[in-house]
């Protein structure tokens, strides 16, 4: 049985994961409109993955006797001035999500809810991977600079970027 503080914190994380899905979806739409097919493909996959993260939390809360609260969908506020700016925002958002997960882990330990603590370890590992992926992509963008040929190759590579393949597969398990 979930304690109220853990249930509230988990419901907050459901909102964070839902917002993450919306952010990736907005980025995918922007990239698609701008002709960045590879970036759009990557972002759509990430949006789906974040939705799976949210669903996993919803099911956990309900299975543990709590009541998952489905958050309202809000429009992400993003700076679309460049693909580099977009990926910088993405990295900063992933750092924020990591902080939220860490706070959730802290609350579960304070409440001596070891089942939730154990459940959350998957999210801790996932966030390490998410931040590393975002950092790798930013490093590639910085290498490209203003080179149009490099941007073309980068966009093409993003169609098959495998930084999140394992995480997506484990989210479905």
Q: What are the pLDDT digits (tens) for 43-92?
A: 999 999 999 999 999 999 999 999 999 999 889 999 988 889 999 999 99
Residue predicted with more confidence, 168 or 100: 100
Overall domain count for the chain: 1
- Give the other-Cβ count within 10 Å of 43's Cβ: 25
Residue 31 placed within a domain: yes
Q: Is 112 within the bounds of a domain? A: yes
**Burial tier of 146 (Cβ tally within 10 Å: 0-12, 13-18, 19+):** exposed
Q: What is the spatial distance between Cα 115 and Cα 113, in angstroms, rounded to a whole number?
A: 6
pLDDT at 172: 41
| Structure-model confidence comparison of residues 164 and 141, the more confident one | 141
Domain contains 171: no
Query: Does the pLDDT value for residue 103 go beyond 60?
Result: yes
Query: According to the model, what pLDDT value does residue 147 have?
Result: 85
Q: In the prediction, which pLDDT does 173 show?
A: 37
| 130 is a domain residue | yes
Average model confidence (pLDDT) across the chain: 91
- State whether residue 66 is helix, strand or coil: coil
What's the CA gap between 121 and 101, in Å, rounded? 9
* 16 within some domain: yes
Domain that holds residue 153: 4-71+79-166
The alpha carbon torsion through 112, 114, 116, 121 (nearest 10 deg) reads 120
Structural domain contains residue 173: no
**Domain assignment of residue 172, yes or no:** no
Q: For residue 30, give the CATH number of its domain.
A: 1.20.1260.10
């Amino acid at each position: 049985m979930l304690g109220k503080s853990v249930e509230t914190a988990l419901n907050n994380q459901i909102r964070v994961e839902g917002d993450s899905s919306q952010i990736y979806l907005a980025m995918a739409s922007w990239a698609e409109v701008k002709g960045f097919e590879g970036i759009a493909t990557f972002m759509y996959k990430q949006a789906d993955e974040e939705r799976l993260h949210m669903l996993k939390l919803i099911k956990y809360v309900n299975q543990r006797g709590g009541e998952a609260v489905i958050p309202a969908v809000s429009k992400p506020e993003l700076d679309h001035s460049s693909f580099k700016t977009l990926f910088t925002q993405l990295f900063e958002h992933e750092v924020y999500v990591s902080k939220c997960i860490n706070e959730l882990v802290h609350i579960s330990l304070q409440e001596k809810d070891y089942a939730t603590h154990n459940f959350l370890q998957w999210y801790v590992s996932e966030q390490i991977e998410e931040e590393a992926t975002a950092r790798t992509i930013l490093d590639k963008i910085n290498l490209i600079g203003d080179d149009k040929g490099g941007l073309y190759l980068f966009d093409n590579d993003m169609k098959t970027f495998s930084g999140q393949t394992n995480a997506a597969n484990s989210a479905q398990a």
